[in-house]
């Protein structure tokens, strides 16, 4: 299977996500919560599955927030919405799917902080 090649910026996001998810209890919560959230979307596309999807989505996010309570850090998506996608890629690696190939030249954490700040300012200006 062909792997998704992450550019340096997305590789840095993946590294930052890993840094924010070191506590084993947080990782366990995410291993349970992320697939529940992801499954809620296709399940919710059916009329019959709407109540089930709402439950999956709600309980999945409950696991996410419980994990971040243990980690002592806010969820990554608070500072960068792209972390919602990165989280699914992180989960795929944790369960052995390894769907991605990371770039060798990722920006440093300091460079990513500057990029996030610029992105936040651009979003605020657009609103």
Question: What is the structure's pLDDT at 58?
Answer: 98
- Tokens representing 92 are 């795929």
What integer pLDDT is reported at residue 98 of this predicted model?
Answer: 79
CA–CA separation, 7 vs 84, rounded Å?
Answer: 17
Read off the DSSP letter of residue 107.
P
β-partners of residue 5 are 101
Looking at the fold, whether 104 and 124 belong to one and the same domain comes out as yes
Assess whether 87 and 110 both reside in one domain.
yes
Domain extent, residue 105, equals 1-20+79-127
* Residue stretches of the chain with pLDDT short of 50: none
Tell me: do 88 and 123 sit in the same domain: yes
Task: Provide the pLDDT for residue 124.
Answer: 61
User: What is residue 48's predicted lDDT score, i.e. its pLDDT?
Assistant: 83
Query: Residue 125's pLDDT is what?
Result: 59
Tell me the pLDDT tens digit for each residue of 17-50: 999 999 999 999 999 999 999 999 999 998 889 9
Residues 122 and 85 in one domain: yes
pLDDT at 37: 96
**Cβ burial 56-89 (10 Å sphere, 16+ → b, else e):** bbeebeebbebbbeebebebbeebbebbeebbeb
């Amino acid at each position: 299977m062909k792997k998704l090649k992450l550019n340096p910026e997305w590789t840095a996001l993946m590294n930052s996500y890993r840094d924010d998810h070191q506590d084993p209890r947080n990782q366990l919560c995410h291993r349970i919560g992320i697939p529940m959230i992801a499954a809620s979307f296709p399940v919710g596309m059916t009329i019959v599955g709407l109540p089930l999807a709402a439950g999956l989505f709600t309980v999945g996010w409950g696991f996410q927030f419980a994990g971040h309570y243990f980690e002592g850090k806010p969820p990554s998506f608070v500072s960068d919405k792209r972390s919602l996608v990165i989280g699914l890629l992180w989960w795929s690696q944790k369960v052995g799917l390894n769907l991605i190939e990371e770039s060798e030249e990722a920006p440093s954490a300091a460079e990513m902080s500057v990029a996030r700040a610029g992105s936040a300012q651009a979003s605020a200006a657009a609103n």
